């Protein structure tokens, strides 16, 4: 999965390290990205479209 992400998102192609986060209650895939630039750390969350629809729907009610 990590290889697929780096191929499709050019911004993260030059990361020092990508760590998958498996803790938490969310079914989203989460990754901690350590960047070369200015020692930045980013959080990447990936979810499917059905989950996005359900999350938005639950926020409205």
CA distances from 22 to 2, 29, 31 (A): 14, 8, 9
Single out the residue of 19, 25, 8 nearest to residue 42, CA to CA: 19
Q: What is the pLDDT of residue 38?
A: 75
Q: Tell whether pTM > 0.75.
A: no
Residue 5, C-beta contacts closer than 8 angstroms, at least 6 positions apart: 12, 18, 31, 44, 46
Helix residue ranges, H only, 1-61: 2-8, 49-60
pLDDT per residue rounded down to tens, the chain (61 residues):
777 777 888 888 778 888 999 998 878 889 999 988 777 899 998 887 777 777 777 766 5
């Amino acid at each position: 999965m990590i290889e697929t992400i780096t191929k499709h998102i050019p911004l993260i192609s030059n990361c020092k390290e990508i760590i998958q986060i498996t803790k938490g209650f969310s079914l989203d895939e989460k990754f901690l990205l350590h960047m070369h630039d200015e020692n930045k750390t980013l959080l990447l969350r990936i979810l499917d479209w059905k989950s996005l629809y359900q999350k938005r729907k639950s926020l409205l009610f």
